Amino acid sequence: MAERHAANAGAFHDELSMDFTNPTITVREGEEIDATRVDAFLRERIPGLEGEMKVLQFPNGASNLTYLLVFGDRELVLRRPPHGTKAKSAHDMSREYRVLSGVKKAYPHVPEVLLYTDDESIIGSEFYITKRVLGNLVLREFPPEWGFSPDHCRKFCLRFLDRLIELHQVDYRAVELENLGKPQGYAARQILGWNKRYVNARTDDAPDCEEVRTWLEERIPSESRACIIHGDFRIDNLLVDPHDPFNIVAVLDWEMATLGDPLMDLGNSMAYWIQADDGPGLLSLRKQPSNAAGMLTRDEMVAYYAERTGTEVEDFDFYLVYGVFRLVVILQQIYYRYYHGQTKDERFAVMIHSVRELEKRCLAIIG
C-alpha cells in the first residue's frame, strides 16, 4: 500500500495514492489462451508493442473472460466469451465492441477499444482488445484505508447513481447506436425472454420459479422512453480514480447493453442493492458495500433517480422483481455450465443457493 496522508478525525483524505487497482491472477486452468498466436496477431495490428508479452487474468467476472496483456510498460485488455454452452445471442464480442466504440463518443467513462476480430483460429473464439484503465475496484467492502464515514458513503452512492443517470441521458442516435436494440416492445421481450431462458437453463436441483414468471408476464408495462441501458450497472463493475474514490473513471462489462426502458435498467441495479436491514439470507449474497452506514436504501435510490431525471415512478415493485428474477436467470445460466462440467470454476458451485434465495426474494416482494 502506497503512503497516505494522515487524516483528521472524521475528515476524508484530500490526497490518496493507493495501489490496489483491479487485481489479476495467474490464468485459471481450462481458461488459457494461445499466447504465441495472440502476441503475433497484436504486433501486426497495434504499433509500438515491445518486450515479451505477459498474460494474466482478471478473476472477478462470472461470464465473459477478461485477460491483462502486458508489453513492457503498455497494458492491454483482451475480452472473450466463456467456454461451454451459451444463450443464443449472448456474449457477442462484436456487439460489445460496437457499444464501447459508440458510447465513448458521449460518455467518457469507458475503456478505449483498439480492435476486434472474429478469427477464431487465434484463441478459439472471437475477442476484442482495449486499453487498460487504471483504477480501484470496489468489491464487498470499501477499503478500510479510505476511512469512509457515513457522509462519504452517501457521497459515493450518489456519484454511482449519477453515472447511471448520465448514461441514460446520452442521445443514442448522436453516437450512432440507433441499431443497438429495438425499443418498441422492449419490456415484453425482456420478460418473455428471461422466462424462456430460465426454463432452458433449469437444472434438476433448481426451483421452477413459475409463480414469479407468471406474475411478471401479467404486469408487463406499456411503452416508455428508450435510452442506452447498461444492463449490469453495479459497484463492482466500476473503476474509481486511485487518487479520488468519488471519481468513477470507468464502467465495465457492457455485454448486456441495449436500447430500452431506463427503469428496467434501474431495476437491474437495485437487484444487487442489498441494504443493511435486509435479512441474513440476502445479506449473505451481498457482493458490494451497499449496506454500509450512510448508503442510500433502495427506496431512496429510486427517489433520487426520479428527482434527477423527472421520471414518474408510481410502483417500482415490478421493476425490482424483474431485476431480481433476471439475476436469478443469469446465475442459473452460469450454474448450468458448472453443473454440466463445462467450466471448472469452483466459484459457480454455490450459485444454486443464490438462485433459491433470490427466488424467495421475488416471492416476498410479490407477496
For residue range 179-222, what is the model confidence (pLDDT) as tens digits?
Answer: 999 999 999 999 999 999 999 999 999 999 999 999 999 999 98
Query: CB atoms < 10 A from the CB of 353, how many?
Result: 14
Q: What pLDDT sits at residue 21?
A: 59
Q: What pLDDT sits at residue 85?
A: 47
**What is the edge-to-edge ordering of all strands in the sheet holding 244-251?**
136-137, 238-241, 244-251
Q: What pLDDT sits at residue 16?
A: 39
Map out the domains of the chain with their CATH numbers.
35-131 (3.30.200.20), 136-366 (3.90.1200.10)
Give the dihedral sign, CA 125/126/130/134.
Answer: negative
Q: What pLDDT sits at residue 61?
A: 66
DSSP β-ladder status, 238-241 and 136-137: antiparallel
Q: Which residues pair with 77 in a beta bridge?
A: 68, 130
Do 129 and 76 contact (CB within 8 A), yes or no?
Answer: yes
Q: What pLDDT sits at residue 222?
A: 87
Ranges of residues in the chain with a pLDDT under 50 are 1-19, 85-88
Give the global pTM: 0.87
DSSP β-ladder status, 244-251 and 238-241: antiparallel
Q: Quote the DSSP letter at residue 105.
A: T
Closest residue by Cα to residue 83 from 323, 300, 344, 326: 344
Is 113 in a helix, a strand, or coil?
A: strand
Q: What pLDDT sits at residue 327?
A: 96
Q: Quote the DSSP letter at residue 25.
A: B
